[in-house]
Chains A and B, each alone.
Chain A
Amino acid sequence: MMRWPVGAAVLAAALVAVSGCRPASPGPVQITLQRFFGACDAEFGASTDVPAAEGECGIITTLINKFNADNPDIWVKVNIVYWPGYDQLSAELAAGHPPDVVTMHESVISDYSQRHLIMPLDAMLASAGIDPAGFTRAAREGVTRDGSVYALPFDNWAPLWHLNLNLLRAAGLVRDGAPVLPHSPEELLQQARQFTRATGKPYLIQSIVNDPAASARNLFTGLMQQNSDFFADPRRIRLQTPEARRVLQLFKQIRDEGLTTKDQDYTAATAAFLNGQGGVYIVGTWMIGTYEQASLQPGSPLAGGYTVVPFPQLYPGRDVTYADGHSWVVPNAKRSVQKTAAIARLLRFLRDNDFQWSRTGHLPAYQDVIDSARWRALPHRTEVARLVDTAASLPAGVQRQFTIQQIISEEMESAITGQKPIDSALADAERRVNDLLFNLL
């Protein structure tokens, strides 16, 4: 009778041998597309009905299904990764086997373009008949590095003010059917006090516990609105400035006066707005659909009383909101002419279907979609359309933006909650970010 070690070794060897068996690649030219946005095969796995699909996952799944159905000479194999997927992408690049097309945040492009890990797409876009002049300004700036286009933009998104009009009306902050919005920090405080006095609820709903980016986005927006050139050198941030101090002071005062929800994470804040626990929730474009749906349900605290606007201009510099966006990049790798042509055709298809993607709530990356009647007919799109002109990202050369956002959010939370004096938090944020950027390869 065979016993342990030998039996185990034989079975283990047999299992190891199975490794030789790999599924065969279907289709003549296979492209590997790597994306986040989750999986929803149960609902949309076999669907090619793009207009009927909903949500990020549903729309991107049916889009790729449709591309595969319409292009029998190409097979797009989808690799879904856990958001944001950059650990996997880096591992694939290190192993020399990157996917062909990858979702990438525009704020992350510099991390890869500066090390030549992704390819400039100017020639490929030209071959696909995609003219970057058709990109919106925000999208073009988001994907351009050193004069070259490194990605096909898919959307832009920015922190918006989602408004509970029912509560704002009760507080006297709706005039002629339109919300009364602040135009300065003083007005913001005054309106927030008025709101809280009238409703007994906090004016702002904020996610500032363990949120890797929300506070940083507020700071970036506040600094940009004051024309603060806090990244004059892309490898050095300046945060010990009166402008930065002003923004932190404002959010600290809002908290100290009880004008905001406290100690909420993203989940709690999202639910709080849905449940009518405050007047204004600062969160991205992606929540428009969810809250619009809630406003159509009788009995919901948002019933008949929801709208959304871009971040108001609070400082006298310029009307601007920090923004980011999703895009498609092509990692550098040796590819056949056929495969390169197939990738170009896929990019063209994605560009042509940007309207479908914009139904997620994200801002289209193409001016013709923005100008189209069908996009403007979607709920609340006219209210946020001016973001095309006011959205701005950090300077293109700034690397490690995800980590920078996390550092700044941590330090801001410390200052706003009173764990650190504002000046210490800004000094610490500046030092930590600059350490990070100084040590870049």
Chain B
Amino acid sequence: MTARTASAAAGAGRHRALPALLAVASLAMAAPLLWTLLLSLKPNGELLRSTRSAFSPPYTLQNYTDILGHSAVFAWLLNSTIVSLAVTLGVLALSSLAGYGFARLRFPGRGVIFIVVLFGLAIPEQSVIIARHQMFSALNLHNTYRGLIFPGLAAPFGVFLMTQYFRATPQELEEAAALDGASRFKIFWRILLPLSLPAQATLGIFTFLSTWNDYWWPLISATDSDMYTLTVGVASSQMNFAQTNGLGFLMAQAVFASVPILIVYVIFQRYIVAGVSRAAA
């Protein structure tokens, strides 16, 4: 057997092994999700006895009916949607403007201010939560949409991302536009902003996902059940020892809360993958 034949055989082997490896990895990643889905379709009483019953019928949609039967669940869904959309749009607007300013405009203290903004990346939310809670109390912002939206608008990562993106955009584009008599704002508006759409898509999707999944701040700011977001609302509807006496209901809640996220993911899948690749690069 020649060296070339041996190399071709090894290549073919690798070719066959790779899909099998990927299939196993995919199954391992999907298994918890499938397990959650299966459990959500079983009566709680059966699961109390043994979770092995998840592999055999009968299945039921009762747990989902119970969730939808809760009078407040659609209000929580609406609250989450309003808050997530407002934060996402606000972050996009503020980060784009700030990013352009840091990348292209020259003004006194620019470097210092940029560093101060970057400090925000290093400060965990936990360290400021009490001060923020007191500030929002003084401003009477708890149990309002503004109370849920404003903290999310401070997005140093967004500013950093957009700054880097604008810095990487060729300066010549702006110079050419300036030669044609375009104003600074027109250059930003007509040229740089459309070019930054991929970065904005990435930032928007990640902001939406993190806001949708946020639990801690809504837990202590939106304490009135009318203002609960979906994450806080579904948690509140769990009984004591829900993991034991209401496992099916608990899993149905997990599935229900993740459906909107899955829809967002399916619609924006292309951008999310591109965004992750870009961030990795």
Contact B145 A18, beta carbon cutoff 8 Å: yes
Residues B79-131 near A (CB distance < 8 A) = 82, 85-86, 89-90, 92-93, 96-97
The stretch from A86-94, A126-134, A167-175 touching chain B is A86-94
- Which of B85, B97, B232, B245 has the most chain A CB within a 10 Å cutoff? B245
Contact A39 B241, beta carbon cutoff 8 Å: no
Contact A23 B189, beta carbon cutoff 8 Å: no
* A335: Cβ under 8 A from any B Cβ: no
Distance A41 CA – B223 CA, assembled complex (angstroms): 19
B240's nearest neighbour on chain A, judged by CB, is A83
A98's nearest neighbour on chain B, judged by CB, is B223
Contact A18 B93, beta carbon cutoff 8 Å: no
Measured CB to CB, the closest approach of chain B to A395, in angstroms, equals: 25
Contact B232 A82, beta carbon cutoff 8 Å: yes
Contact B237 A39, beta carbon cutoff 8 Å: yes
- Which of A4, A56, A267 has the most chain B CB within a 10 Å cutoff? A4
B100's nearest neighbour on chain A, judged by CB, is A5
Distance A39 CA – B82 CA, assembled complex (angstroms): 24
Given the known interface contacts A15-B82, A15-B85, A16-B149, the answer about A95 and B133 at a Cβ–Cβ threshold of 8 Å is yes
Given the known interface contacts A83-B240, A92-B223, the answer about A271 and B50 at a Cβ–Cβ threshold of 8 Å is yes
Measured CB to CB, the closest approach of chain B to A40, in angstroms, equals: 7
Contact A56 B145, beta carbon cutoff 8 Å: no
* B142: Cβ under 8 A from any A Cβ: yes
Residues of B within 8 A of A334 (CB): none
Interface residue from B144, B149, B236 paired with A15 (Cβ < 8 Å): B149
Contact B93 A9, beta carbon cutoff 8 Å: yes
A79's nearest neighbour on chain B, judged by CB, is B225
Cβ contacts B209-223/A at 8 Å (1 or 0 each): 000000000011101
How many A residues, CB 8 Å from partner?
A: 49
Distance A87 CA – B236 CA, assembled complex (angstroms): 12
Taking Cβ atoms with an 8 Å cutoff, the residues of A that contact B are 3-6, 8-9, 11-12, 15-16, 18-19, 22-23, 32, 36-43, 45, 55-57, 78-83, 87-88, 91-92, 94-97, 266-267, 270-271, 274-275, 286, 290
Taking Cβ atoms with an 8 Å cutoff, the residues of B that contact A are 48-50, 65-72, 82, 85-86, 89-90, 92-93, 96-97, 133-134, 136-137, 142-147, 149, 189, 193-194, 197, 200, 219-221, 223-226, 232, 235-247
User: Can you list 22 A-B pairs, Cβ within 8 angstroms, ordered by A?
Assistant: A4-B93, A4-B197, A5-B96, A8-B89, A8-B93, A12-B149, A16-B146, A22-B144, A37-B240, A40-B66, A79-B223, A79-B224, A81-B236, A82-B219, A82-B238, A87-B220, A91-B219, A92-B223, A95-B133, A267-B244, A270-B48, A271-B50
5 nearest A-B residue pairs (beta carbon): A42-B69, A38-B239, A19-B145, A39-B237, A91-B220
